[in-house]
Amino acid sequence: MSSENWVRLPVIDFSKQDLKPGTPEWDVLKVQVREALAEYGCFEASTDRLKEVGKPIIGALEEIFDLPLETKKLCVSEKNRFIGYYAPKAPMAESFAIDNVDEENNIQQSLTNILWPQGNPSFSKSQVCFAELALGLEKTIRAMILESFGLDDNYVKEHMDLTKYSVRLMKYEAQTQSNDDPLLVAHYDSNLLTLLYQNEVNGLEIQNNGEWIKVKFSPHSFIVMIGETLSALLNGRLPSVLHCVMNVENNKTRYSTGFFSCLKGGFKVKVPEEVVDEQHPLLFKPFDYDEFHACFISNVNPLGQAFRNLKTYCGV
């Protein structure tokens, strides 16, 4: 890691309103999405909407992490350390996570009402705007991916209906000394798709063809990354991406927020027959996402070595 190589990922523009399946505009973007994910496992999704809401989103991140520690700890979850406020032992990183952000008023109930009993409408508005923007974009991109593999409208609709969504707000503290240790260890996301937005401070690195490269992206873009679950659902035909966060810009604090889609638990995820053939034999057995995620969390490697749990968990 700590690569000297910088890369600008493929940039795909989603600024056009009301993209519809079957239109020329949709089909052009669908091809671009498939090609970018096949090459990198991720790409940059630009949208004019971020010009309107980007600054308030970052301002809200600064506001919530500036709260006193005792206030932030009011959001600690005793049942799940990956929900609510989380401060690792290392002092350079902390986060807040919210589940079910597509449900009405859940952001306000899970964060705003707890941290600001007197209310904080501007904070709630910024987070709701982010979640709504990311949700619409994520559904569009995922539908394009599934459609590109020949999966029909009924499959896509059922797939969307079985999805839940979460948001994680993150702060990586400025460091005064150069350090090759990652602020966030190398890992694959376990979910379907991740949409990442950040302030102007870079630090994201991805591995491509065995080489670590630093990622730059504009303030009006998301980085879209494919996770383990969607990669498995597509029988490994699109790769999930190994990534980490490094301290590459000294004396600057990095704020980012991630939007995550994942399948609901309680049923088996099965690779559809459309993505299995002689050239692409079946790689994964059916699995329950919640059971897999529990295994994923319990086996997080404290030393930060790269791991890919789904092949071990349910590989054929």
Q: Rounded CA gap, 37 and 56, in Å?
A: 30
Would you say 61 and 171 are in contact if contact means Cβ atoms under 8 Å apart? Answer: yes
Residue 52's pLDDT is: 87
Residue 190's pLDDT is: 87
Q: Rounded CA gap, 268 and 39, in Å?
A: 29
Q: Rounded CA gap, 253 and 198, in Å?
A: 11
Q: Rounded CA gap, 287 and 294, in Å?
A: 12
For residues 78-108, b (16+ Cβ closer than 10 Å) or e, as one string? eeeeebbbbeeeeebbbbbbbbebeeeebbb
pTM for the full predicted model: 0.92
Sign (positive/negative) of CA torsion 257, 44, 90, 304?
Answer: positive
Residue 303's pLDDT is: 40
Distance of CA 210 to the CA centre of its chain: 22
Scan for tokens 């504009």, then name that residue.
Answer: 218
Residue 3's pLDDT is: 58
Residue 305's pLDDT is: 44
Q: Rounded CA gap, 139 and 135, in Å?
A: 6
Specify the long-range contacts of residues 308-313, CB closer than 8 Å, at least 24 apart.
308/188, 308/228, 308/240, 309/188, 309/190, 309/228, 310/190, 310/228, 310/229, 310/231, 310/232, 310/284, 311/283, 311/284, 313/287
> 6-314 belongs to which homologous superfamily?
B-lactam Antibiotic, Isopenicillin N Synthase; Chain (2.60.120.330)
Would you say 199 and 256 are in contact if contact means Cβ atoms under 8 Å apart? Answer: yes
Please report, in tens digits, the pLDDT of each residue of the chain (316 residues total).
Answer: 555 677 889 999 999 888 899 999 999 999 999 999 999 999 999 999 998 899 999 999 999 999 999 999 999 877 666 789 988 655 578 999 999 998 878 888 889 999 999 999 999 999 999 999 999 999 999 999 999 999 999 999 999 999 999 999 999 887 766 666 777 778 889 899 999 999 988 889 999 988 999 998 888 899 999 999 999 999 999 999 999 888 756 678 899 999 999 999 888 889 999 999 999 999 999 988 888 877 776 665 544 444 456 777 888 8
Q: Of 198, 147, 152, 196, whose CA–CA distance to 172 is shortest? A: 198
